[in-house]
Amino acid sequence: MVSFDLAEGNPGCLTFMMEAYMGGGMPSAVKAEKAFQRMQGYNIKGAKLYMLWNDCCNRNTPRTLNIMLEKPIEDILEHINYEGGRGIPYSEEATADRYPGESEDILKAIDEAGKEEVVTDGV
């Protein structure tokens, strides 16, 4: 299980994590856990997670979780490693603003994310 240490003391990241785990009941918590496990495996944490949620996804928590589960890591890194100091926003077409548990696609994404090979030495 991912711990709140993933926030690295970043209050914005901690807010995002709390919202992700607590905001939509059990389906949201399960989805959040899979999404944060994936990010942890690629050493995306703290300020980088906050940037993804705040800058790239306009604080839309369900959308951020979908991106964390569905987008290739290279794409996520491209959005959060922008040299201008802020993340590059995802276009509206990049992913739907679904809420956890609303469709079979979400359950499939959660299942697939659990099967993905995770890198343990960071990016």
Mind listing the pLDDT tens digit for each residue in 41-83? Answer: 999 999 999 999 999 999 999 999 999 999 999 999 999 987 7
**Residue predicted with more confidence, 38 or 1:** 38
The closest alpha carbon to 65, from 114, 115, 112, 99, belongs to 99
* 116 within some domain: no
Asked if residue 104 is part of any domain, the answer here is yes
pLDDT for the residue numbered 97: 56
The mean per-residue pLDDT over the stretch 103-120 comes to: 55
Residue 123: inside a domain, yes or no? no
Task: Classify residue 117: in a domain, yes or no.
Answer: no
Question: Taking residues 76-91, what's their average pLDDT?
Answer: 86
Number of Cβ atoms within 10 Å of the Cβ of 85:
7
The number of folded domains in the chain is 1
Q: Which domain holds residue 81?
A: 4-110
